[in-house]
């Protein structure tokens, strides 16, 4: 058996244990029991859940068999319990010491986590993980934050600044039996704003016999604060709508009842409005604050607007600001999405907006509390079902047919786009000798991939071995969908070779594929096409792994290494990286052409790959041209391949190759100096360009 425990949570007298467990095959059933130290079976509520991530990663299947578990049972004193997992006569026991769990607050110790990680992912990934953590420890977020927040002099300057456009912000807050300390801190954070044209609309849905009116009384001298006691609790959507009914501003600002705004939050929003006069929506970065209000953690430095990431996770979340006219036109919040009402609300606002501005600064502090999804996403499982409905309904309104499944973690989703049809795809594979690699690649196309409407064009590039040409003769006989074409150019020019292959293609789509790749999942091409068939899509890239199951490609970030580089290189494929970005479908500036699906019409429109870039950055240049033409470049982690990394070309190890590489660097820099200077819109300027792990920027060196 393989298993992992993701959550151990003690609430009063109930212990929750959640994770996944599988047997040797997909058909195997794992049975669960909870026992005490004497071996007596303890009554437990056992709920099985889909874990599509585990199904796909371990069994390479899309089966809906449930391998996830959520087990809850009553505990007493500081006793020891055992979670017993059995399959085919074998049993594994996981010790659950209540005393230890209380001491650790339900979290595993660093040693426990380290041992679990080592056992799960192996030595290489463990060393990479330790190295990453050591780098992170050099710059704790609390310390980093103190160096970037504004001092009193800067805040005073903001208070004295006069804008050409000075909109009014209506900050809407639904109250429900709010902790008075948190309530006071929330209101105080609004009153501390350096921009003063605001109103605070408080709708109290605490219900009969409970009111926060007295707690709010101390603030009523500020006539910008409006308070209304509701007759009943109408749920979070209904209570928020009551607050919206009180709003009279130009923009609506969403604020939860125990969260905090940074003092410059509204100032930055006004600055954004003055810079983008017609902006409809503004959102910012955020972090989390503990119950003492002293410790800040988990900063979320977000990309600029990213519709595909949003369809997989509500990455926008806080701070969210929208024109009141848009709110009025869409009808506010909907109670049928309670638990994910903000997700649905954001989708409907975006559907009715043209200009969406991201402010890459932490302007919102999300309170971690015992019932908050900021601390424990699984405390509101119903919210994730509501979120799936929000995604599905949004896509339906946009004319897209999707199926939404659980993602890698609660709060994350896997959105699968239904194929309109099964169009012809031309797979273009450059090759020079290395027929073993090519054979493995072809076998995966015909024996692993389930997509049948393909033609495969092998572009022969100056091979020298007789066995290679004999192999060509054999494969065109073995596979009637394979043809070999001969490129007669001299040397190696990746762009020219692929352009030549594209000129011989008859497919509606081109799949550029390296000869040293191997498809992992049978629906790999389906996944690429699902995103690629959309009208707004130009290119779709895949998730590529090294042979040891560490990441080779999870998208490209412009600026890494001075020019561009792959994100999260070397992390294990199951590593929970920065906000699970490697595991989320999302829009990016570029993906690698080692596996790249592109509409043939788009390929032709932008003139194919730039043949001045023979070896380096040609695929990134191509992606940026497609972006410039108004089409999206999308990374889909559910299309997975192994990539054995440019074995056939060799290293840049001669003076001629080094000179060529430097020339291509210069060509790329000249062509794309604007984005290199401004920064990748799908990255964040607060994150480092010196490493690929999305760590905080080193303020002393960058």
For 432-489, write each residue's pLDDT tens digit: 998 999 999 999 999 999 999 999 999 999 899 999 999 999 999 999 999 999 998 8
CATH code where residue 386 lies:
3.90.550.10
Range with the lowest mean pLDDT among 215-219, 308-312, 436-440, 537-541?
215-219
In the chain, the percentage of residues whose pLDDT exceeds 70 is 90
pLDDT of 287 above 50? yes
Cβ atoms of 584 and 637 closer than 8 Å: yes
Between 105 and 292, residue with greater pLDDT: 292
pLDDT of 378 above 60? no
Q: In whole angstroms, give the CA distance from residue 212 to residue 234.
A: 16
| Most confident of the ranges 85-94, 127-136, 340-349, 662-671 | 340-349
Longest Cα separation, the chain: 90
Does 213 lie in the same domain as 67?
no
CATH code where residue 37 lies:
2.60.40.10
Query: pLDDT tens for residues 489-543?
Result: 888 899 999 999 999 999 999 999 999 999 999 999 999 999 999 999 999 999 9
pLDDT of 673 above 80? yes
What is residue 49's predicted lDDT score, i.e. its pLDDT?
Answer: 74
Answer yes or no: is 374 within a domain.
yes
Rg for the chain (alpha carbons), in Å? 27
What is residue 137's predicted lDDT score, i.e. its pLDDT?
Answer: 46
Tokens coding 589: 């500036």
* pTM given for the model: 0.80
In this structure, is the dihedral angle defined by the CA atoms of residues 649, 652, 655 and 660, taken in order, positive or negative? Answer: positive
pLDDT of 73 above 50? yes
Answer yes or no: is 84 within a domain.
yes
> According to DSSP H, which parts of 533-637 are helical?
600-605, 618-628
Measured distance between the N- and C-terminal CA atoms of the chain, rounded to whole angstroms: 46
Backbone angles phi, psi at 279, to 5 degrees: -65, 140
Q: Provide CB contacts within 8 A for 333, sequence distance 6+.
A: 236, 237, 238, 240, 241, 244, 341, 342, 344, 345
Residue 124's Cβ-count burial label (10 Å; 0-12, 13-18, 19+) is middle
Bridge partners (DSSP) of residue 201 are 172, 226
Answer yes or no: is 174 within a domain.
yes
Does 77 lie in the same domain as 44?
yes
What is residue 651's predicted lDDT score, i.e. its pLDDT?
Answer: 44
Does 339 lie in the same domain as 262?
yes
User: Which residues form the domain of 76?
Assistant: 2-105
Q: In whole angstroms, give the CA distance from residue 293 to residue 364.
A: 13
pLDDT of 136 above 70? no
In the chain, the percentage of residues whose pLDDT exceeds 90 is 63
Between 434 and 281, residue with greater pLDDT: 281
What is residue 574's predicted lDDT score, i.e. its pLDDT?
Answer: 84
Neighbours of 145 (CB within 10 A): 15
Does 246 lie in the same domain as 192?
yes
Cβ atoms of 540 and 417 closer than 8 Å: no
Does 396 lie in the same domain as 442?
no
Bridge partners (DSSP) of residue 165 are none
What is residue 381's predicted lDDT score, i.e. its pLDDT?
Answer: 67
Q: Give the residue-averaged pLDDT of 127-142.
A: 59
Bridge partners (DSSP) of residue 19 are 5, 69
Answer yes or no: is 473 within a domain.
yes
What is residue 652's predicted lDDT score, i.e. its pLDDT?
Answer: 47
Q: In whole angstroms, give the CA distance from residue 459 to residue 487.
A: 6
Residue 147's Cβ-count burial label (10 Å; 0-12, 13-18, 19+) is exposed
Q: Give the residue-averaged pLDDT of 75-83.
A: 88
Does 385 lie in the same domain as 451?
no
Q: Provide CB contacts within 8 A for 575, sequence distance 6+.
A: 121, 125, 129, 551, 568, 582
Q: Provide CB contacts within 8 A for 553, sequence distance 6+.
A: 541, 542, 543, 544, 566, 569, 591, 592, 594, 643
Tokens coding 134: 């050591």
Bridge partners (DSSP) of residue 427 are 456, 511
pLDDT level of residue 701 (50, 70, 90 thresholds) = confident
Bridge partners (DSSP) of residue 513 are 595
Answer yes or no: is 695 within a domain.
no
Cβ atoms of 321 and 168 closer than 8 Å: no
Does 403 lie in the same domain as 439?
no
Q: Which of 78, 105, 132 is the last residue of a domain?
A: 105
Answer yes or no: is 132 within a domain.
no
Does 637 lie in the same domain as 526?
yes
Query: pLDDT tens for residues 530-586?
Result: 999 999 999 999 999 998 888 999 999 999 888 899 999 888 888 889 999 999 999
Answer yes or no: is 116 within a domain.
no
What average pLDDT does the structure give for the chain? 88
What is residue 107's predicted lDDT score, i.e. its pLDDT?
Answer: 45
Range with the lowest mean pLDDT among 10-19, 607-616, 647-656?
647-656
Angle 317-319-324 (CA atoms, 0-180°, nearest 5)? Answer: 100
Strand 425-431 to strand 509-513: parallel, antiparallel, or no bridges (unpaired)?
A: parallel
Q: How many domains does the chain have?
A: 3
Does 401 lie in the same domain as 456?
no
- On the question of a cis peptide bond just before residue 215, with omega within 30 degrees of 0, the verdict is no
Q: Which of 408, 442, 469 is the last residue of a domain?
A: 408
Does 467 lie in the same domain as 404?
no
Does 323 lie in the same domain as 276?
yes
Range with the lowest mean pLDDT among 14-18, 78-82, 458-462?
14-18
Cβ atoms of 364 and 254 closer than 8 Å: no
pLDDT of 212 above 50? yes
pLDDT level of residue 648 (50, 70, 90 thresholds) = very low
Q: Give the residue-averaged pLDDT of 158-168.
A: 96
**Eight-state DSSP code of residue 420:** S
Answer yes or no: is 39 within a domain.
yes
Does 429 lie in the same domain as 404?
no
């Amino acid at each position: 058996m393989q298993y992992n425990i993701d959550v151990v949570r003690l609430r009063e007298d109930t212990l929750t244990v959640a994770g996944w467990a599988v047997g040797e095959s997909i058909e195997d059933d794992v049975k669960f029991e909870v026992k005490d130290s004497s071996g007596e079976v303890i009554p437990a509520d056992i709920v099985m859940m889909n874990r599509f991530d585990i199904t796909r990663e371990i069994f390479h299947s899309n089966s809906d068999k449930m391998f996830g578990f959520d087990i809850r049972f009553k505990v007493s004193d500081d006793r020891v319990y055992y979670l017993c997992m059995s399959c085919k006569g074998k049993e594994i026991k996981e010790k659950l010491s209540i005393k230890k769990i209380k001491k650790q607050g339900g979290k595993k110790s660093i040693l426990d986590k380290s041992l679990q990680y080592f056992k799960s992912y192996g030595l290489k990934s463990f060393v990479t993980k330790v190295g990453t953590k050591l780098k992170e420890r050099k710059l704790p977020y609390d310390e980093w934050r103190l160096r970037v927040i504004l001092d009193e002099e800067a805040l005073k300057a903001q208070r004295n600044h006069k804008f050409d456009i000075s909109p009014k912000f209506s900050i809407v807050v639904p109250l429900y039996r709010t902790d008075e300390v948190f309530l006071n801190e929330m209101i105080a954070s609004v009153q501390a704003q350096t921009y003063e044209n605001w109103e605070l609309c408080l709708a109290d849905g605490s219900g009969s016999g409970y009111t926060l009116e007295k707690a709010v009384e101390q603030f009523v001298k500020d006539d910008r604060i409006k308070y209304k006691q509701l007759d009943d609790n109408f749920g979070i959507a209904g209570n928020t709508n009551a607050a919206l009914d009180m709003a009279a501003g130009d923009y609506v600002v969403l604020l939860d009842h125990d969260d905090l705004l940074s003092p410059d939050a509204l100032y930055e929003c006004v600055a954004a409005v003055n810079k983008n006069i017609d902006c409809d929506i503004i959102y910012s970065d955020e972090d989390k604050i503990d119950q003492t209000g002293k410790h800040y953690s988990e900063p979320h430095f977000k990309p600029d607007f990213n519709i595909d990431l949003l369809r997989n996770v509500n990455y926008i979340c806080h701070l969210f600001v929208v024109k009141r006219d848009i709110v009025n036109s869409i009808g506010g919040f909907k109670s049928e999405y309670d638990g994910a009402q903000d997700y649905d609300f954001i989708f409907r606002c975006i559907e009715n907006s043209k200009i969406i501005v991201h402010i890459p600064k932490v302007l919102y502090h999300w309170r971690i509390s015992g019932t908050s999804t900021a601390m424990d996403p699984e405390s509101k499982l119903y919210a994730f079902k509501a979120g799936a409905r929000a995604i599905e309904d949004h896509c339906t309104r946009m004319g897209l047919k999707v199926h939404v499944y659980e993602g890698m973690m609660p709060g994350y989703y896997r959105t699968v786009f239904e194929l309109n049809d099964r169009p012809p795809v031309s797979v273009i594979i450059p090759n020079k000798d290395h027929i073993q690699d090519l054979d493995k690649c072809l076998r995966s196309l015909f024996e692993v991939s389930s997509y049948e409407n393909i033609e495969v064009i092998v572009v022969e590039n100056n091979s020298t071995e007789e066995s290679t040409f004999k192999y060509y003769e054999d494969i065109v006989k073995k596979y009637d969908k394979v043809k070999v074409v001969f490129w007669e150019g001299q040397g190696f020019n990746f762009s020219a070779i692929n352009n030549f292959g594209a000129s011989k293609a008859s497919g509606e789509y081109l799949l550029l594929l390296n000869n040293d790749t191997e498809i992992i999942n049978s629906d790999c091409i389906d996944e690429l096409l699902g995103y690629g068939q959309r009208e707004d899509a130009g290119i779709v890239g895949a998730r590529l792994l090294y042979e040891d199951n560490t990441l080779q490609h999870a998208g490209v970030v412009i600026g890494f290494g001075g020019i561009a580089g792959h994100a999260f290189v070397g992390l294990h494929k199951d590593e929970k990286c920065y906000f699970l970005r490697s595991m989320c479908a999302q829009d990016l500036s570029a993906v690698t052409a080692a596996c790249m699906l592109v509409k043939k019409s788009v390929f032709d429109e932008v003139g194919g790959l730039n043949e001045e870039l023979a070896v380096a950055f040609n695929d990134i240049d191509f992606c940026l041209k497609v972006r410039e033409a108004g089409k999206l470049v999308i990374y889909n982690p559910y299309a997975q391949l192994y990539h054995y990394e440019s074995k056939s070309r060799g290293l840049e190890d001669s003076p001629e190759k080094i000179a060529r590489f430097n020339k291509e660097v210069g060509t790329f820099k000249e062509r794309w100096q604007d984005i290199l200077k401004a920064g990748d819109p799908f990255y964040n300027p607060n994150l480092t360009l010196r490493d690929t792990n999305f760590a905080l920027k080193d303020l002393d060196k960058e």
